[in-house]
């Protein structure tokens, strides 16, 4: 089963050049049953990446373009009146697909974010007095432009906390840029679609169970907890660290690190988790969960800087 997902990773890497962290993050979110937030400038293959995933996984895919005039019903669906029956009938919206691309999520108003938050948190949507369950396989990959760009708004902390991982993508180097140029030209000339083995939903659910059964030593669980405690009680490790953190990570962060570390070990065809697995997913799992102080902002300290300092200060198992 691992080989099938390794093949999917190879396929994603062939379609999204120079972004191995993005393609791995997509697989980790899929295997750990979580949602993914990807931040970066336009044109860096964020949409292409989730399109490639949709080609390799059994399920229905839908892209939603978030705009300032979007309404909650544009996501959830709405009740339609049928004159022939004299009754209202629910017409489901795009959230009732298996894989959702929420493009430029931070351009939409708060009511739309609230509707998406319920779907992400509870795997259900509420329309009027009725609540409707979403598919068992439900993955949201949201993209957002950097907050410095015009027309963008920061997402609420509660919604950010629902994302399993927050990835940042940046521009490729010159060699990768040339490879991208050649790939797009070859695709335009070719009439054959790339061949990829489709992974069934049953495969995904089986992989998720296998991941939860991987061995994780008690010391590693303690290590994860201590990493999270360092975000809440930073003064126990360093006064400088404490001056940077206004609010620490929630218990969801603990779960996210554990699930993603397990998934990473499984993808590497191991039946046990190592400290390296935990450290490898640490930044992406916590980048969006910390709130820094004005002191940190004044000193030019980023969330990644804080997380690196925590990894340095907290001893591994």
pLDDT top residue among 45 and 139: 139
Among the listed residues 17, 11, 4, 6, the one whose alpha carbon sits nearest the alpha carbon of residue 172: 17
Coil, strand or helix at 140: strand
The confidence band for 317, taking pLDDT boundaries of 50, 70 and 90, is: low
Q: What is the pLDDT of residue 120?
A: 92
Say which range, 17-21, 55-59, 196-200, has the weakest mean pLDDT.
196-200
CB 33 within 8 A of CB 262: no
Q: What is the pLDDT of residue 46?
A: 84
Average pLDDT, the chain: 91
DSSP string, 46-80: HHHHHHHHHHHBSS-EEEEE--TT--THHHHEEEE
d(CA 131, CA 282): 35
* Residue in the structure block whose two tokens are 């760009």: 149
* Residue in the structure block whose two tokens are 């990644």: 304
The confidence band for 2, taking pLDDT boundaries of 50, 70 and 90, is: confident
| Largest Cα–Cα separation, the chain | 70
Average pLDDT of span 98-110: 89
pTM above threshold 0.85: yes
The confidence band for 231, taking pLDDT boundaries of 50, 70 and 90, is: very high
Among the listed residues 156, 61, 141, the one whose alpha carbon sits nearest the alpha carbon of residue 108: 156
Q: What is the pLDDT of residue 195?
A: 59
Average pLDDT of span 259-279: 96
Q: What is the pLDDT of residue 151?
A: 63
Q: What is the pLDDT of residue 206?
A: 96
Domains of the chain (ranges; CATH) run: 2-184 (3.40.50.300), 214-313 (1.10.8.80)
d(CA 221, CA 267): 20
Average pLDDT of span 233-246: 95
Residues 43-97: pLDDT tens digits?
888 888 988 898 899 889 999 999 889 999 999 999 898 888 888 889 999 999 9
Q: What is the pLDDT of residue 150?
A: 59
Say which range, 74-83, 86-95, 196-205, 207-216, has the weakest mean pLDDT.
196-205
Q: What is the pLDDT of residue 197?
A: 61
């Amino acid at each position: 089963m691992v080989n099938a997902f390794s093949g999917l990773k190879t396929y994603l890497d062939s379609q999204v050049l120079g972004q191995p962290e993005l393609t791995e993050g997509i697989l980790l979110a899929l295997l750990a049953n979580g949602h993914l937030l990807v931040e970066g400038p336009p044109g860096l293959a964020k949409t292409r990446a989730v399109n490639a995933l949709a080609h390799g996984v059994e399920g229905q895919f839908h892209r939603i373009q978030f705009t300032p005039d979007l309404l909650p019903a544009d996501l959830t669906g709405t009740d339609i009146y049928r004159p022939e029956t004299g009754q209202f009938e629910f017409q489901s919206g795009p959230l009732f697909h298996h894989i959702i691309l929420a493009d430029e999520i931070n351009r939409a108003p708060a009511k739309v974010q609230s509707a998406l938050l319920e779907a992400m948190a509870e795997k259900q949507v509420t329309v009027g007095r009725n609540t409707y369950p979403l598919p068992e396989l439900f993955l949201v990959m949201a993209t957002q432009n950097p907050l410095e760009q015009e027309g963008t708004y920061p997402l609420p902390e509660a919604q950010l906390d629902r994302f399993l991982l927050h990835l940042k993508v940046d521009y490729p180097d010159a060699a990768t840029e040339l490879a991208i140029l050649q790939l797009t030209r070859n695709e335009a000339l070719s009439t054959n679609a790339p061949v990829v083995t489709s992974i069934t939903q049953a495969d995904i659910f089986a992989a998720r169970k296998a991941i939860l059964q991987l061995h994780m030593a008690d010391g590693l669980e303690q290590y994860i907890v201590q990493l999270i405690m360092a975000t809440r009680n930073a003064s126990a490790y360093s006064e400088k660290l404490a001056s940077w953190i206004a609010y620490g990570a929630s218990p969801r962060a603990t779960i996210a690190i554990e699930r993603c570390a397990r998934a990473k070990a499984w993808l590497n065809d191991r039946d046990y988790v190592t400290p390296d697995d935990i450290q490898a997913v640490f930044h992406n799992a916590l980048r969006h969960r910390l709130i820094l102080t004005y002191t940190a902002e004044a000193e030019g300290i980023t969330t990644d800087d804080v997380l690196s300092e925590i990894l340095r200060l907290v001893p591994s198992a």
